[in-house]
Structure 1
Amino acid sequence: MDFSGAVVLVTGANRGLGREFARELVKRGAKVYAGARNPASVVDEGVIPVRLDVTDDASVAAAAKELGDVSIVINNAGVLVAGEDVDSIKAEFEVNFYGLVRTTDAFAPILKTNGGGVLVNVLSILSFVGRAAWRGYAASKAAGWSLTKSTREALQEQGTHVIAVHAGFIDTDMTTGVDAPKITTESVVSQVLQAIQNGDDEVLADERTRSVKAQLAF
């Protein structure tokens, strides 16, 4: 794919991995809408800030109405609350799972109109395994993986390429307090853009994630 002809929406694009997606796609000549709850927090040159709260139906609908030329959607917005209580887990599901549902349902018709396009869901190594301290986050990412597979089947007929992205710790604000090996945002973005070009359905961004996935029984 020639990204110079692409029109891309990146959710959660004001920092971390989303910001790197936006910056790299601009370098490659794409038109990039950078979705964020606060558009003023999007400060990079070349991107187009868009008010987008994936937890709010009206916000997602308004963005879809405004961005009718989108050909690639990168569902990057995510949250780690890491609480043990039900409210914390609900907050993680609201972004990490229901946020995917909202953006998919709103933008799938637009992708169809624009020739099929690409839908990328940024998930996690915790799509495959649980973690006691992050049980809500892990469950939300596992649900997101299931949703991604269902979405791939549902959108196949309209020609939309659906990609699942799984990674361990990525070097972003979210993992600042984590003392463990981390993959760079640049590496993840490079692999995802290559997957789009290759037509791959899945990105396993680091060796730990590849090892865990290989141990699954299916």
Structure 2
Amino acid sequence: MPDSLKPLSNQARPRLVLASSSRYRRELLERLRIPFDVIVPAIDETPHAGETPEATALRLAEAKARKVAAELQVGTSRSERTLVIGSDQVATFDGHQIGKPGSHENALAQLQAMRGREVLFHSALSLVDSATDAAQTVDVITRVRFRDLPDTALDAYLRAETPYDCAGSAKSEGLGIALLDAIDSDDPTALIGLPLIALTRMLMAVSYPILKAEAA
């Protein structure tokens, strides 16, 4: 095994940090019942010219994790190992990226355009080891087909859920599931924003003790 992906010692449980401002990602990570801190990364999330949606998501996920990892290394020893989780989601429809609507009007326009159609969600994940600078990065794709619903139903959903901070305006973990006709993904948590199956795979690759037996 290369040094960049060396396993942890049996006794070691390094600090785990979620590099995100998203409460949805925080709530997802809490499902694993492992200790972690949250640090919000200050990076420019503007897509680069000519960049594919997949490339944008992958770049930003790793950039968020590396930004926080670099900040944590200032004034500390590299032997103080920290694993930093970065994630980014880009929704695409008809070849164009779909952002967070920010308002009721924008959200309604998004849902009107997507009804009866398929939308791709790129949920990129990166795990950066501050001790080695190694990064494990992956893009988990979710295909979502929206129901062909009337404006009255879309408006009622938006007023009930107010998902104006969600790309695509559909919160599948809430009432937004009623908007969807089908979801195709290898990881049901990816659509919410943090692919936990991929994350646990990455943590297990460095022998992070997710399922650690409690001392008697």
The two structures have a TM-score, normalised by structure 2, of: 0.39
Higher relative contact order (CA 8 A, sep 6+): 2
Structure that is richer in helix per residue:
1
Larger Rg belongs to = 2
Structure that is richer in strand per residue:
2
